[in-house]
Structure 1
């Protein structure tokens, strides 16, 4: 019964959040240009790290996958 109460509470909260977003009253919504800037900067950071260290990263991932598939 506790799980049902929790599920109903969660559903109600999500419904209210969706309704507020549709009414454009959500103060946490943010602005699109800010999110675009964060996304572009994150992609640039990933590339800045990946380009000089690509071989080391690929080698580390291959070693990790090999150790998992070979049983350690």
Structure 2
């Protein structure tokens, strides 16, 4: 009974490898999107931040 249960569990563990290349692709695509958005919006966000800081300092 226990032996058959362990055998079935070990077979399932070996079969359940996951989709590692898919997760790597998703991670790289997400990083690429973050870099692209940061490149486009970075200067505008920097300007907004500088304006906010100058308003706080002059207040």
Q: TM-score range by the shorter chain?
A: 0.3 to 0.5
**TM-score normalised by L of structure 1:** 0.41
**TM-score normalised by L of structure 2:** 0.48
Q: Which has the higher helix share?
A: 2
Higher radius of gyration, 1 or 2: 2
Could you say which structure has the greater relative contact order, defined with CA pairs below 8 angstroms and 6 or more residues apart?
A: 1
